[in-house]
Amino acid sequence: MQRKRIQPKRTALLSKASRRKRPSKTSASFAETVVNWLIAALIVIILAFAASVIWRFVEAKKAVVFTQQPDAEGIKPETKVIRIEVLNGCGVTGVAAKFRDYLRSQGFDVVNTDNYRSYDIDSSFVIDRVSIKSKYGLKLADALGIPRKNVQPILSDELAVESSLVLGKDYASLKGYSEAGQ
């Protein structure tokens, strides 16, 4: 006697599987819809901000700096008032104040007068605080008759001046001393 194996009908299996309920799509609630729209709006804002930053960075490299045109004599007019400090390095009382008055009459903005760290300075010198080429210091030195070799750049962001004048024991030979009155 042979045993026969009984195979179930395939149609019956399929029908049971098809009888299972599939989850139906439920409509999103109002709150979920609002949150989704807010997220989409924030993504758009962030992308616009990023594009703006990139645009400014690219355009800043393309920017052209316009300078003033030379006047009839070929010399560029200077409109910036140079802020300076006058430091007394010779030890004579009142010398810094005399040079302060003279330099103000010459168009410089003297924002500070004080004593230098020592009183044994032989020759006056100028320190340019913002320009490595001593652009402002040379103008100050020329106004006082200080030799250009006595101008040195020592850059400093801590001071609110473009140049510092240190008066030495040769102060009487400078242009401003005789004009400021003794």
According to the model, what pLDDT value does residue 124 have? 93
Name the DSSP letter for residue 138. Answer: H
Say if 115 falls within a structural domain. Answer: yes
According to the model, what pLDDT value does residue 123 have? 93
Domain that holds residue 119: 83-180
Here the tokens at position 75 are: 């010399």
According to the model, what pLDDT value does residue 55 have? 84
CA–CA gap between residue 15 and residue 173 (Å, rounded): 116
According to the model, what pLDDT value does residue 111 have? 92
- How far are the Cα atoms of 38, 48, 177 from residue 125, in angstroms, in the given order? 65, 54, 15
Say if 17 falls within a structural domain. Answer: no
Q: Structurally, how many domains does the chain consist of?
A: 1
According to the model, what pLDDT value does residue 146 have? 92
Say if 7 falls within a structural domain. Answer: no
Say if 110 falls within a structural domain. Answer: yes
- Counting as low any pLDDT under 50, the low residues of the chain are 64-68, 182
According to the model, what pLDDT value does residue 18 have? 56
CA–CA gap between residue 43 and residue 102 (Å, rounded): 62
Say if 32 falls within a structural domain. Answer: no
Say if 33 falls within a structural domain. Answer: no
Can you say whether residue 82 is alpha, beta or left, with left for phi > 0 and alpha for psi between -120 and 50 degrees? beta
Here the tokens at position 69 are: 């045109």
CATH of the domain at 103: 3.30.70
Say if 20 falls within a structural domain. Answer: no
Here the tokens at position 164 are: 């510092």
